[in-house]
Structure 1
Amino acid sequence: MPFSRLASVTTPTAHLGMGLAAVGRPAYITLGRDTELPGERTPEELRARTHELLDAAYAQGVRYIDAARSYGRSEEFLADWLAARPEVRDVVVGSKWGYTYVGEWRTEAEVHEVKDHALAAFERQVRETRELLGERLDLYQIHSVTPGSPALTDTELHARLAGLAAEGVTIGFSTSGPAQADAIRAALAVTVEGEPLFRTVQSTYNLLETSAGDALAEAHEAGLTVIVKEGMANGRLAGPRAPEALRAVAQEAGTSPDAVALAAVLRRPWAGVVLSGAATVAELHCNLLGAAADLDEAQLARLASLVEEPGAYWQRRSELPWN
């Protein structure tokens, strides 16, 4: 893990992080939320759920927490948790800008988030993030960069991000969509005064969607910390929804499909941190078992048969309901 704050963490589960996308707002596209979260999903109920998850994750050695401006009130919930636990100084805090949450705390909202990678959006959102997380912000990422994103060519934005880096905040980016590999390679070429701007990359990679693998290996070789998101494919690889081949390997390994799915990602030599997006403590514990799951080459080869064509994978993801 080249990112210095993460590299100093030595707990057994240091390569697993806690993502707050599923609990910072009432609606998200993860399958199974109807049984995992309370029906009302008030801010106070989700604040309590977030704190419960963070307590459990920290107790099990997780030291990276991932939020975003568009994850509803995730930064606020995280800031409250940190303020109530001043002794917790070894947690690495990451957040993201580039999407604005517009769902008005309604599960049935027609639009939940709006993307904007312009400089003005950064200036507004970094102020909002700083107001909540202050000096605890370790990593700030551009949210969901694609090959055509203006964030890759806006030199004024790059200079402002470099200024934030000079203040001690690591700068990174995340990617989404079937052209993740192209976005990663384009971002690796972004420099400010001859120095690479980005020190971390966060991308979707799981048993169904592996198309960014080679580009992530290149990013790792270039010295970036790789953070993997959506390792559970928004719930498609969890529990009874998991494909038969995954459930069979899990049974052989004496563990859960969740653990096997994340273990397969953790086996990638470039994977610095793999995020759990659990919405319950029980799910979190299943996810954390991935750090100990022992898979042989024959099992990994069987799991490789689950890979989908990127366009088909992202099309299906786009059709998942906000619930």
Structure 2
Amino acid sequence: MPFARLATATTPTCHIGLGLAAVGRPGYINLGRDRDLGEERTVEALRARTHELLDAAYAQGVRYIDAARSYGRAEEFLADWLAANPGIDDVVIGSKWGYTYTADWSTDAEHHEIKDHSLATYERQRAETDALLGERLDLYQIHSVTPDSPALTDKKLHAKLAEAAAGGLTVGISTSGPAQADAIRAALAVEADGKPLFRTVQATYNLLETSAEPALAEAHDAGLTVIVKEGMANGRLADPHAPQILRDVAAETGLGCDAVALAWILRRPWAGVVLSGAATVVQLTSNLHAPAVDLTDEQLDRLATLTEDPHSYWQHRGSLPWH
């Protein structure tokens, strides 16, 4: 597995990756986006911002980069950065298929992305990703699998994914929604040619939404690499939106709410890579302080009180505006 390369990194930030969801397109659901990006959101402005983030991430030890077909032009921006830095060959590149970006570089589109886990979509998007990332792609995940996704039962799709895996590509899933645990367990049971098909799982997990934890531990025990997304709950755990308990603990540590929230995830023994969704270099640098946060048992107990009912959490997330 290409993720084995992460274990050889010498910096403590090797288990923090950079996700490009917030910078590959002008509209997203993260809180504070107006402050982070301002009004200048042309293709070239976001290309430059993405490259600046990638430069800073690599310089500070980040070795996993996460993109998706639906992240606007994130794959294109990443491909440009890789082409401009041919000597960088130790980063692991992951992307996702299953959502099509439909906002046409607008922040107020009626539909920003459309989900389709069919074989036809896989073949189309795989070709699109290959045209940009080619052999640099290490990991290709099905985007936002839920228990009712046809991707869990489509044998023809499984055969195509197994073919890609046989060619050296790591195949995985990402999940979303209140039934993430069910989707993860269903994915663990999927086989092709008598072997488990999926080698990674990427799931939402943070101080507010912990319902997938037992299933993620099971996935880790089964040999899958676990990638944690939305560790900041789309900005709900960052200043100025962070709950008071998190602010208090952060003040006690002398670091930011974001570093504390990510540090809490890094303590999980099953967490292989925890994604930063930073939109600025300042945010990224603050996120990368997470490995230095030392939380006491008493602080952990206080933070544990922030957990929400998963259905309430996902309902709240679904109400966040694209801006």
Q: CA deviation at 1:285?
A: 0.7
2:145–2:176 CA contact under 8 A, matched in 1 = yes
CA distance in 2, matches of 1:135, 1:203: 25
Deviation digits for residues 195-223 of structure 1, max 9, x if unmatched?
00011000000000000000000000000
Partner of 2:12: 12
TM-score by length of 1: 0.99
Partner of 2:191: 191
What amino acid maps onto 1:309 in structure 2?
A: D
User: Is residue 309 from structure 1 mapped to residue 283 from structure 2 by the alignment?
Assistant: no
CA distance in 2, matches of 1:95, 1:194: 26
Residues 295-306 of structure 1 mapped to structure 2, 5 A cutoff: 295-306=295-306
Deviation digits for residues 212-250 of structure 1, max 9, x if unmatched?
000000000000000000000000000121000000000
Q: CA deviation at 1:167?
A: 1.1
Aligned residue pairs total: 323
Secondary structure at the counterpart of residue 13 of structure 2:
coil
Partner of 2:200: 200
CA distance in 2, matches of 1:147, 1:25: 28
1:3–1:199 CA contact under 8 A, matched in 2 = no
Secondary structure at the counterpart of residue 126 of structure 1:
helix
CA distance in 2, matches of 1:22, 1:11: 25
Partner of 2:148: 148
Secondary structure at the counterpart of residue 122 of structure 1:
helix
Residues 233-312 of structure 1 mapped to structure 2, 5 A cutoff: 233-312=233-312
Unaligned residue ranges in structure 2 (runs of 5+): none
How high is the sequence identity, in percent, across the aligned residues? 74
1:162–1:197 CA contact under 8 A, matched in 2 = yes
CA distance in 2, matches of 1:273, 1:10: 15
Q: CA deviation at 1:12?
A: 1.4
Secondary structure at the counterpart of residue 77 of structure 1:
helix
What amino acid maps onto 2:112 in structure 1?
A: H
2:3–2:92 CA contact under 8 A, matched in 1 = no
2:2–2:170 CA contact under 8 A, matched in 1 = no
Partner of 2:45: 45
Runs of 4+ in 1 over 2 A off after TM superposition: 1-11
User: Is residue 98 from structure 1 mapped to residue 98 from structure 2 by the alignment?
Assistant: yes
Unaligned residue ranges in structure 1 (runs of 5+): none
CA distance in 2, matches of 1:224, 1:43: 36
Deviation digits for residues 69-117 of structure 1, max 9, x if unmatched?
0000000000000000001000100000000000000011111000000
Secondary structure at the counterpart of residue 299 of structure 2:
helix
1:97–1:125 CA contact under 8 A, matched in 2 = yes
CA distance in 1, matches of 2:14, 2:192: 31
User: Is residue 176 from structure 1 mapped to residue 176 from structure 2 by the alignment?
Assistant: yes
CA distance in 1, matches of 2:220, 2:2: 9
1:263–1:293 CA contact under 8 A, matched in 2 = yes
Secondary structure at the counterpart of residue 306 of structure 1:
coil
User: Is residue 129 from structure 1 mapped to residue 143 from structure 2 by the alignment?
Assistant: no
Q: CA deviation at 1:193?
A: 1.4
CA distance in 2, matches of 1:58, 1:121: 32
Partner of 2:164: 164
TM-score by length of 2: 0.99
Q: CA RMSD in A?
A: 1.0
CA distance in 2, matches of 1:218, 1:10: 28
Q: CA deviation at 1:2?
A: 8.8
2:2–2:138 CA contact under 8 A, matched in 1 = no
